[in-house]
Amino acid sequence: MSEAKTVFIVNPGSGGGRTGREWARIRKMAEGRLGPFTTCMTGGPGDATRLTRESLLKYADVVVCVGGDGTLNEVVNGFIDEGRPVRENAVLGFVPNGTGCDFIKSVSIPGLIEASLDTIARGETRTIDLGRIQYRDHSNRPCTRYFHNVASFGLGGEVDERVNRTTKVFGPFFAFMLATLLSLLLYGKKRVRLRLDGSREEEVRTWNIAVANGRYHGGGMLIAPEASVNDGLFDVTVIGDLSLGEALYHLPKLYNGRISEVAQVSTFTCRKVEAVSDERVLLDVDGEQPGSLPAVIDILPGALRILA
């Protein structure tokens, strides 16, 4: 791996600032395993996408993201432009060190820093699908974003908004659980009109709809137990018209993979999801909250090579 032109995209603010505090130690370990590399530090939203794209266009063969799923999403967006790779044969590595690192549970990337660096050093790659979502941002402008893990709308967007403005000092599980409980108490179900693969249409009253490439999101929720990152399909989970009491009672099933056993929960597989609503329905895209419905989501099979 040392012969490749390697760039590390580092979010020092990820994990509540933990990555910045630990970067000197991480860098030393990385240099010992990978040899010399270039480091680019992010300073705010969008930097990781810009720095990744600039690095790929100039010289990089390997881009390593250091941070959480939100930073990884930005780096992924730097790899793809108008549905195509910015640089053919470039590969992505991930050193998970953020508030949310759900994606590593769907691919063979270890959670420990040392082990994830060892995985990058071995140089073994696999190809994964990406999702593409077209939506409206908070200024009602049309936007396109790519995602590696899960896009959802409804309660998930409300949870993101709360997680991103509250403390993560007690770790991701507590942050997401507290935000989920508060959102359940304060949020109302929404009516959403869905179209799957351009034909099947239905209107649902729902707490949340998850369009999953990976299996986990929200700090450990097993929202799509059967999802695969390389089958060319989304696994869609619709959490339907439960009462507040039922939603709270069944909440543990979101973590143990039994959510599909709930009568008001529906699951589908498809390649394209279109969703509209007459109400304000926020999006959750890999743990970030970029905008709201309406949205069109489709899959890009085999769009990205990762070190795993």
Q: What is the pLDDT of residues 119-143, one digit of tens each?
A: 999 999 999 999 999 999 999 999 9
Helical axes 18-34 vs 113-122, angle rounded to 10°: 40
Q: What is the dihedral of CA 199, 202, 206, 209, to 10 degrees?
A: -10
pLDDT on residue 161 = 64
pLDDT on residue 2 = 44
pLDDT on residue 166 = 60
pLDDT on residue 95 = 98
pLDDT on residue 156 = 73
The answer to whether the peptide bond before residue 294 is cis (omega within 30 degrees of 0) is: yes
Q: How far apart are CA 40 and CA 11, in angstroms?
A: 9
pLDDT on residue 19 = 94
What distances in angstroms separate CA 130 from CA 15, 79, 227, one per listed residue? Answer: 24, 11, 13
**Regions in the chain scoring below 50 on pLDDT:** 1-2
Structural domains of the chain sorted by starting position, each given as residue range(s) with its CATH number in brackets: 6-123 (3.40.50.10330), 130-301 (2.60.200.40)
Cβ–Cβ under 8 Å, residues 96 and 205: no
37 DSSP β-pair partners? none
Question: Is the full-model pTM beyond 0.95?
Answer: no
